Amino acid sequence: MRLDRLLCEMNKGARSRVKEYIRQGLVTVDGVVVRDPGRRVGDGECVTLQGEEVIFKKYEYYMLNKPGGVVSATRDNVSQTVLELLPKGRRQGLFPVGRLDKDTEGLLLVTNDGELAHRLLSPGRHVDKVYLAGLVKPLEEARIRCLEQGVDIGEEKPTLPARVEILEPALIRLTIHEGKYHQVKRMLQAVGNEVLTLKRIGFGGLALDPSLAPGESRELTEEEVTRLHES
């Protein structure tokens, strides 16, 4: 990869800016100052910018605890986006995998791995999505059975069977295997209830890290990345 492209992809500045860094002698490769922006950099070569090592990663994976009021988008003219919550200096090309409604909180995967995102979101793969849903009223046993059998939410087909666990009278853990628009809210409406609060705590075998406060994020571990690929 070209040296200037590597620095751009690792979000060290626009192409014109990183070229200027290189020409000013602020960039080294394996301890040697390089002034050619087109210098090819191979695996294992150590690049520094102003004495700070720049580690190239083809893919990055972040777990974000999305707070309410933030939109699951790469840019928005009105509201804060999930990308704005990630650490400074993150690489370019990151995007949220799927969407959480603006008022929904919890686990959101952010990456630049398009192939993994496609697999996780593919309707035919039925990847688990786990939510905590606070309801207007407790669920009756008959309503639970309806959710576990699949309900009509106005689509061509009923939803796939869900798994319902009662945690408190009006708080449930709901596991679904699709990603339809407003699906959880529509499912509860279909059984005569209403969602007051919604938080995703699991996605594709990944569990929300309880140490992450709303708005905080961290990179996934290698084990977590492997689990996502296997899901």
Q: Which residues are catalytic?
A: 101
Distance in angstroms (rounded) separating the CA atoms of residues 32 and 149: 65
Helix (H, G, I), strand (E, B) or coil at 124: helix
How far is C-alpha 186 from the geometric centre of its chain's CA atoms?
A: 23
- Cross-strand pairs, 64: 108, 217
Distance in angstroms (rounded) separating the CA atoms of residues 53 and 47: 6
Q: Which residue has the tokens 């990151």?
A: 94
Q: How many Cα atoms occupy the beta-carbon half-sphere of 71 within 13 Å?
A: 9
Distance in angstroms (rounded) separating the CA atoms of residues 130 and 162: 10
